Structures are given as C-alpha cells and as structure tokens.
Amino acid sequence: MLRLRRQQWIEMVAHGLDCLPEEACGLLVGRPDGSVEAFRPCTNTDRSARTYAIDGREILRVERDLDASGNGLEVVGVMHTHTHTDAYPSPTDVERAALLASWHFLIVSLRHPEPVARSYRISDGEVAEERIELVVR
C-alpha cells in the first residue's frame, strides 16, 4: 500500500500540470512500508510528452540529503505523469523498473480533467497494483 498525504498529492498534481505538455516526474521519499513523507519534484531530462528520465545526479543529491538527515527516510518510489493515456504502466515503464522491485510506481494520469492516480509494484516484469491511502490531514 502507498500512503500519501493531501499536501503531497497537491504538490504532485501541481508539478504534473506545470510540466504539461511534457511528462512530469519526481521521487517519493518515505519509509519502506509505503508511507510517503515528502515529494521531491525532479526535472524530466527527456523533455518529452511520452517519456521521462531523472538525472542520476538529482537522485544522488536526494539520497545524500536523506542519508545526512539520519531520520530513516529513503527514496521509496517514483511518480510520473501520463499526459494522454491512463495511469497504467507502459511496456517502457515495466522494462525500466527491472532493478527497482522494492519501489512504488505512482502514475498520475492527466488525460481527463480530473487527475487519476494509481500505484504499482513491478517485479520481474509482473505488474501488481496496490492500494493508495490518502491521508487527509
């Protein structure tokens, strides 16, 4: 399960809308149990409406900050938007997740006026949807 707070959801949707017509992406910072404590918007280095990529140095910076803070938080997943398709992992998403079996893959579809979020675990090419709990406080 992925547990999101209202503020993070607002930040993600805002980042997604800001990046249109390109896909937006960012890292989910939290605990291994799937509680997201912060959203770190990242630059989509592909600058594309169909693909995204995060510069490894940006990931490195986030992980260094988290290690230095010593509060036990880590990068637990990645959020990206689909600008013109539903919130389901594409073959590219599944292929590129090969080494990230422990991560949560949150996809926000901006295809319709209301943003739609769905979250997945992707392991050995198998996609399993997980529940999203939105903590409204």
Partner 1 sequence: MPVSVRLPTVLRTHAGGLSEVSAEGATIGEVVDDVVRQFPGTANHLKAPDGALHRFVNVYLDDEDVRYLGGLDTPVSDGAEVSIVPAVAGGTG
Give whichever of 9 and 105 is closer to partner 1, judged by the CB atom.
Answer: 105
- CB of 4 or CB of 110, closer to partner 1: 110
Instruction: Find, among 115, 112, 117, 113, the residue nearest to 130 by Cα.
Output: 117
Distance in angstroms (rounded) separating the CA atoms of residues 25 and 42: 6
Q: How far is the CB of 46 from partner 1 (least distance, A)?
A: 7
- Least distance in angstroms from the C-beta of 78 to partner 1: 6
Distances 20 to 14, 23, 58, 84 between C-alpha atoms, Å: 10, 7, 21, 11
- Per-residue contact track with partner 1, 3 to 42, x per CB under 8 A? --------------------x-x-x---------------
Can you tell me the distance from the alpha carbon of 99 to that of 115, in angstroms, rounded to the nearest whole number?
A: 28
Question: Residues 73-102 vs partner 1: string with x where CB under 8 A?
Answer: -xxx-x-x-x-xx---xxxxx--xxxxx-x
- Residue 90 to residue 104: CA distance in whole angstroms: 15
Cβ closest to partner 1, residue 20 vs residue 134: 20
Single out the residue of 48, 116, 126, 131 in contact with partner 1 (rule: CB under 8 A).
48
| Cα angle 79, 113, 45; round to 5 | 35
